Amino acid sequence: MIKGALFDLDGVIADTSRYHFQAWQQLVQSQWQKKLPATFEQQTKGVSRTDSLQKIITFLQINVTEEEFNNLLAIKNKMYLRLLADLTPANILPGITTLLSNLRHQKIKIALASASQNAPLILKKLNLLSSFDYLADPTKVKAGKPAPDIFLEAAAGIKIHPQDCFGLEDSIAGIDAINAAEVFSVGVGSQTELHAANLLFATTNDISLDTIEQKFK
Ligand code: G6P
Ligand code: MG
């Protein structure tokens, strides 16, 4: 029986994933007058800001000092926050509010397992803070997605065994992290990218708690 639900945020609860990539594009354009290929977006999805920037500078074959690296992270975050300025509950992805209330009715505990340090701010803007029993803090875990740490921390936070939880993700790194945590993985997106998910829905609007319960081990 399902006792816990572990949510990713960007691309699952709200369509903020594209803002992350827009901010990375702005950074790369303003600093080095270069453009990241669109295919690079999936490589940074679910990946912490530090690991994302590392991937970007490796891809662009650029060397930066530690101080410059930290400065670039701060600039990207400022750009990202600017893109979030007008975020309201209208930006909650279709089907998510219903899913959260169905989980609540069934007394299933709900935790956030996002890599984003901006997650509390975003949930506040979406008016969803009270929908969560626990927010796992990504700065407190050793390794980011695809490592299982944030999902294990989220399950521990709601005091539910990982194997009694399902995790919801839109990224390859996220599905790998859920699987590594031995949590039932539910993907939202394309079969090509998220084929490792135990169960897949094409969009958030297609997510059905009944289907998850039927397929859950
Ligand atoms: C999510 C996004 C990533 C982002 C990461 C860190 O996982 O999918 O694109 O890099 O969070 O977000 P932050 O808000 O802390 O920079
Ligand atoms: Mg995501």
Is the entire prediction scored with pTM above 0.90? yes
pLDDT at 80 > cutoff 80: yes
SS3 80: helix
Reading the block at residue 83, the tokens are 């893109």
Evaluate: CB of 53 within 6 angstroms of ligand 1: no
List beta partners, residue 188. 201
Evaluate: CB of 44 within 6 angstroms of ligand 1: yes
The DSSP line for 100-157 is: HHHHHHTT-EEEE--S-TTHHHHHHHTT-GGG-SEE--GGGSSS-TTSSHHHHHHHHH
Percent of the chain with pLDDT over 90: 99
Task: Please give the Cα distance from 171 to 47 (Å, whole number).
Answer: 9
50: left (phi over 0), alpha (psi -120 to 50) or beta: alpha
Confidence of residue 2 (pLDDT cuts 50, 70, 90): very high
pLDDT of residue 217: 67
Q: Dump pLDDT digits (tens) for 125-139.
A: 999 999 999 999 999
Q: How far is the CA of 154 from the centre of ligand 2 (A)?
A: 15
pLDDT of residue 59: 96
Output the average pLDDT for the chain: 97
Q: Dump pLDDT digits (tens) for 95-127.
A: 999 999 999 999 999 999 999 999 999 999 999
Question: Whose Cα sits closest to atom 13 in ligand 1?
Answer: 116
Closest ligand 1 atom number to CA of residue 20: 9
Percent of the chain with pLDDT over 70: 100
pLDDT of residue 85: 96
Evaluate: CB of 48 within 6 angstroms of ligand 1: yes
Q: Dump pLDDT digits (tens) for 176-210.
A: 999 999 999 999 999 999 999 999 999 999 999 99
